[in-house]
Structure 1
Amino acid sequence: MCAEPGKSPDFNHHKLCMFLMKLCSAQLLFILFLLPLACADLDSDKQALLAFAADVPHGPKLDWSNATFICTSWRGITCSSDGTHVLIVRLPAVGLTGPIPSNTLGELDALRVLSLRLNRLNGTLPSDLLSLPSLRSLFLQHNNFSGNIPAFFPRRLHILDLSFNSFTGNIPATIQYLTRLTGLYLQNNSLSGPIPNVTFLKLKHLDMSYNNLNGSIPSSLEVFAYSSFTGNPFLCGLPEKSCSLHSSPPPSSKRKFPLWAIIDIAVAGGVVVLVLVLVGLLVFCCYVKKKSSDGSRLRSGESFTGGRFGIRPYQPC
């Protein structure tokens, strides 16, 4: 389309030719400079995953190799469409054992989904993993993580599943900052304390059952079925345990007795008084009778001993 040497090109054709040359130059620059950067990002993700596999004992199902292509050959790994980043890591039931080390999974800057369920992971969650800005779904159920639930998670989380672990302590009130949550699963842990009064506008699935939570269910969460809270013996607000019926009175309040109880107490008191009076009269009568008997015997003895002849009655030795 460009003019041949020695010929006078048309002006419009000349402009088009220059435009195409610049476009080709821009594409060449992209290939020369941007593509190596993309490869560097993928290689960084690859090294982070290899470090995770090296530090965490696992079963033979996790067969990652430095000699194979991460996006097509590695179990549980899904890359972006352009092959520049790792987006999904799914490793359920592959025998992962021990804590998640720092500077491994937390280095996957573009990670959107992390599933490590049904393993034997323990300890606490590393802070760099909880700081991934692009993380949307975190599945850690059926492990043995312990300690308090972290105060902060990635703000864009849609699903958080920490169920069937050994988390203790309170549910942090900062969980209210996860405004995009659609699913929150905390069941079968050892959580205690009250449920924070938070509002999740997009939350559709909630489960806090089988913990040690206490207090009342917040009004903002009463839209969920009571099965979401069952298994917490000190939590009220369930159909079988109304807060109004099971709440204890304040320490300074005075207990009020019903009328029938007052009548029963009065009757019982009257019976006790009557019995005491009868016992007292019986004792008094016995005392008077005994006194009278002793006086009669005394008078009889005086007349016999002080008789005319002055003879004393016989007294044995």
Structure 2
Amino acid sequence: MDPNPLLLLALLALAVAEPPPTERAALLSFLSQTPHESRIKWNSSASTCDWVGVTCDPNRTTVTALRLPGAGLVGPIPAATLSHLPSLRILSLRSNRLSGPLPSDFSNLTLLRNVYLQDNLLSGPFPPAIPLLPRLTRLDLSANNFSGEIPFSLNNLTRLSGLFLQRNHLSGSLPSINLNSLTSFNVSYNALNGSVPRSLDRFPESSFAGNLDLCGGPLPPCAPFFPAPAPSPEASAKSSSGLSKKAIIGISVAGGVFVVLLLALLLICCVFRRRRRRRRDKPKVDLPPPPPAATGVVGETSRSGEGDDGETNRLVFVGKRGYNFDLEDLLRASAEVLGKGSVGTSYKAVLEDGTTVVVKRLKDVAASKPDFEGHVETIGRVADHVNVLPLRAYYYSKDEKLLVCDYLPAGSLSALIHGSRGSGRTPLDWENRARIAMAAGRGLAHLHSAGIVHGNLKASNVLLRDDPDSAALSDFGLSPLFSPSTVPRASAGYRAPEVTATLKTTFKSDVYSLGVLLLELLTGRAPNQAVTVGGGDEEGVVDLPRWVQSVVREEWTAEVFDAELMRYPGVEEEMVGLLQVAMSCVSTMPDSRPDAGEVVRMIENVVGRAGDDDGNAPSRGGSGAPTPPAAATP
């Protein structure tokens, strides 16, 4: 019986099926640019799907996996090669001698699920392309030479189940990686410091071993976060109150016995000396008795010097006090690292009475004590607005400069927007985003009205309360405390173009940062994540404002907005209006940007609400308030 001709045709078609020429060329380019051992032989006359280490889909029309473990690959991974395999799902190049950074164009591999690059010589910062791979489920970069901090943006990988970063040179604090899907995690034998976040303390101690400055969670508890100064007499008296009653009674009895014995000894010595003097100086004639000895205060010591020393070690409260603790209470508090920023490290401190505050340990402070105290007192006086986090106290010594603020358990806007987007998360809806935008604008306008430049405005410095209208700005006005070379400025992505050149923050650079913050609320994208636009010779990496402008220019405005916002009907007009406000704030020319108070009125006109009026917020704009521009000119 003759074979079925249709079956023969199908088999013939399957036999000649071949991935696109671009994928074949990409693989050959990768192999030709990467030195390797001779056992890898790809015959250019054979089908791509039959090459060693190459796997195609069942129809043999596209490459889905590349596995070349222990193949003697040497040197950097060439750019513009593997990134041209759009259907690649598995990449295994482990146990080779690959070096250098991971190419940034790996972000094009959006279907990539499993990446195995362990046991190589790869180096540089944590690959910025990794957080841009939305389908990634398993990532192994262990036993390489990667350095720098682990990015918080790993929270974008909502399908990630295994993360292996052990035996690198990663440093800084561990970000709060809060992924419900994560079941395997290892960052052992790096140079990480601070406390283990609560979102990761479910993993065993072996996952964090070898990081000498890491503490908390499954590791030993964190030590006090700053050294204790020399205690004052008052502090010593207070610390003794912590002894048990029996110990106090014992010490008192012993002290009493010692005093009695000492007095008895002195009395015996005095009697003995008097008798000797009488025998030695016995007069031959009667003389009048000597005049009585003068009486008065003898041996009293001035304590003015002690007072001066006490001042050095004193916690100084500013504004409305509201708290009842001192430096010794802070020294005994349990501490947890909240994060490290450009001005220093922030700790959550829980006092013995349950009071919780944030202690910011400043670094590289150049201001003298009088200048420091004067400026901090000024900051404390202006922080009387609902949208500004109040400064409660400060401490200044030669070795330590501390600021004490309220602890807001709701966290930061950055964590809310860019945290885990897995199941169980409540999305941040449009109304709450608009209210937070208004709160940030009002806080900045209040600071500017008091003559204070924020200088470091970003989503992680917008702290939330239960009421979104009460969101508060933190870390403001600290630039004058530092030298010009180390002055903290807005983080990359929030920094106005002129600040990079002049190294000086201004009211207008603050407005630029506020505009980026508004874009972050609208797009759901982190400003410090580079975005690739264009293609071919016109491909390039741009910041968030330039990316938004490029999309709007192509009349794809809807593509700008966060997908989580598209589920709310009837808010498109307000979103576009706020987008126009944001773009006016991020103009490249400072003089083209509105003032902070004007931005607030523009937002009010767009979203149609002024929030709660506490008497300190700028007035709501009326019919004469400026309207957002029709087109932005960045």
Q: TM-score, normalised by structure 2?
A: 0.36
RMSD, aligned CA: 3.8
Partner of 1:218: 197
Amino acid at match of 2:81: T
**How far off its partner does 1:131 sit?**
2.5
Counterpart-to-counterpart distance in 1, 2:218 and 2:196: 11
Say which of 32, 37, 41 aligns to 1:63: 41
**How far off its partner does 1:138 sit?**
0.7
Partner of 1:187: 166
Partner of 1:16: none
Deviations 1:46-97 (A, max 9, x none): 111111111000011211121222112x110001111111100000000000
Say which of 47, 55, 64 aligns to 2:25: 47
Q: CA 1:215–1:238 in structure 2 vs 1: closer, same or farther (change >3 Å)?
A: same
> Is the partner of 1:193 in helix, strand or coil?
strand
Is the CA contact 1:152–1:175 (under 8 Å) kept in the aligned structure 2? no
Output aligned runs, 1:225-236, within 5 Å. 225-236=204-215
Is the CA contact 1:146–1:165 (under 8 Å) kept in the aligned structure 2? yes
Q: CA 1:214–1:187 in structure 2 vs 1: closer, same or farther (change >3 Å)?
A: same
Partner of 1:138: 115
Is the CA contact 1:169–1:190 (under 8 Å) kept in the aligned structure 2? yes
Amino acid at match of 1:56: T
Is the CA contact 1:166–1:189 (under 8 Å) kept in the aligned structure 2? yes
> Is the partner of 2:107 in helix, strand or coil?
helix
> Is the partner of 1:174 in helix, strand or coil?
helix
- Runs of 4+ with deviation above 6 angstroms: 250-255, 260-264
Counterpart-to-counterpart distance in 1, 2:129 and 2:21: 29
Counterpart-to-counterpart distance in 2, 1:218 and 1:53: 42
> Is the partner of 1:184 in helix, strand or coil?
strand
> Is the partner of 1:231 in helix, strand or coil?
coil
Deviations 1:200-219 (A, max 9, x none): 11111111111111111111
Amino acid at match of 2:207: S
Counterpart-to-counterpart distance in 1, 2:28 and 2:20: 12
Q: TM-score, normalised by structure 1?
A: 0.68
Is the CA contact 1:113–1:138 (under 8 Å) kept in the aligned structure 2? yes
Counterpart-to-counterpart distance in 1, 2:135 and 2:219: 36
Partner of 1:114: 91
**How far off its partner does 1:128 sit?**
1.2
Counterpart-to-counterpart distance in 2, 1:118 and 1:152: 21
**How far off its partner does 1:150 sit?**
2.0
Say which of 166, 169, 174 aligns to 2:153: 174
- 2:68 corresponds to 1:88: no
- 2:221 corresponds to 1:242: yes
Deviations 1:114-142 (A, max 9, x none): 00000000100001123311111111000
Deviations 1:7-49 (A, max 9, x none): xxxxxxxxxxxxxxxxxxxxxxxx9xxxx9x85x532111111
Structure 1 stretch 131-140 or stretch 110-119: which is displaced more? Answer: 131-140
Output aligned runs, 1:245-264, within 5 Å. 246-249=223-226, 256=239, 259=243
Is the CA contact 1:42–1:83 (under 8 Å) kept in the aligned structure 2? no
> Is the partner of 2:170 in helix, strand or coil?
strand
Amino acid at match of 1:214: N
Aligned positions, number: 257
Q: Identity of counterpart residues, as a percentage? A: 43
- 2:98 corresponds to 1:98: no
Which runs of 5 or more structure 1 residues have no equivalent in the other structure? 1-30, 294-317
The structure with the largest alpha-carbon Rg is 1
